[in-house]
Amino acid sequence: MNPPLISVVTPSFNHAAYLEQTIQSVLSQDGVEYWIMDGGSTDGSLEVIRAHAGRLAGWTSEPDRGQGEAINKGWARATGEVLGWLNSDDWYCPGALGRVAAEFAADPDLLLLAGDCLMTDVSGQTIGLKAARTLDTARMLLTGGDVPGQPAVFIRRSVFQAVGGLRTDLHYTLDFEYWLRIGLRFPAEQMRCIHTPLAAVRVWPGAKTSRGVQAISDEHRRILDDYFAGDALPPGYLARKPEAYAGAFWKQASLEWQAGQGGRARASAREAGRLAPGAYPPGRVRRFWLVSWLPYRYSRVARRVWSRLRGPRPSEWIGVRV
């Protein structure tokens, strides 16, 4: 079977310093249709885009409601069988899209593919790896964890047609909600991980996830509000609502610790314990309280202890599906 065309959309707004690398990483690959949807940048981004306009499927620069709307507009105009999005401060690894196309070509039933993501610093030096994850909806819903690295996730067009686009009212957690929606709709057998780096995520002070811990956490709980008030969740999930909200606070504690907000982190951890003492017992909360006095960024010991505190994946979550 011939490899499918991959349509990639880059939502862009005032990231001129990194946009050239992003664009080059896409255009250097074969079998790609590339759209750039700019939100009206004023920092020189348009000059970078225009320099490559002849090789783009299309581009726009106009005010929008954020990243979600930009991606939705690009995907709606795209013609590829496989869809992805790449933020304007991230990039694809060499040969990544060829590997993606081959996976989709080899399996007509494959609906979602997730690869590894390199984590890099502001200069592009690798500082870590986010391993590929499939959509374990139970774990995502109950803990906020196991969310795949966004730029290394690709979906078939039929998924976009079935579940719709990204929510435009979300600005920090729109990928989390989208993966959750897809995971609740389609069987796990039609999703796959490959442990190959497909993309790189730049961690820098201007990145959205580096700026708004409280906003991220508030959006996470708003998604939970919507799902638990709606009819998308099976009964087994509804019974564990307190655990889901506790998981949101435990994840917030982790983010606050990473951001150097130790006092807030300890308060969030206590709230997790209050909401679901079975999942977050007093001993676990106390251990977090102790290690959170260590700087997360500079202490390998703290990160190792935190990994142990998060614990193994509970067996009852494995394989829970609609």
> Would residue 71 count as lying in a domain?
yes
206 pLDDT above the threshold of 80: no
What does pTM read for this prediction? 0.90
The DSSP secondary-structure symbol of 170 reads -
Residue 297 lies in domain: 240-311
DSSP codes of every residue in 79-120? --SEEEE--TT-EEPTTHHHHHHHHHHH-TT--EEEEEEEEE
Shared-domain flag, residues 178 and 286: no
53 pLDDT above the threshold of 80: yes
DSSP codes of every residue in 7-36? EEEEEESS-HHHHHHHHHHHHTSSSEEEEE
Here the CATH number for the domain that contains residue 138 is 3.90.550.10
> Would residue 321 count as lying in a domain?
no
Residue type, 53: A
Tell me, what's the pLDDT at 310?
Answer: 57
**How far is it, in rounded angstroms, from Cα 51 to Cα 190?**
39
- The dihedral through the CA atoms of 100, 120, 149, 223 has a sign that is negative
pLDDT-based confidence at residue 86 (cuts at 50, 70, 90): very high
119 pLDDT above the threshold of 50: yes
Shared-domain flag, residues 41 and 109: yes
The answer to whether residues 159 and 78 touch, using CB atoms and an 8 Å cutoff, is no
The rounded percent of the chain whose pLDDT value lies above 90 is: 78
Q: Is 70 exposed, middle or buried (0-12, 13-18, 19+ CB in 10 A)?
A: buried
pLDDT tens string 269-302: 999 999 999 999 999 999 999 989 988 765 555 5
For the chain, the first-to-last Cα distance in angstroms comes to 32
Tell me, what's the pLDDT at 267?
Answer: 98
DSSP codes of every residue in 218-255? HHHHHHHHHHHHSS-S-HHHHTTHHHHHHHHHHHHHHH
Domain termination residue (choose one: 208, 225, 250)? 208
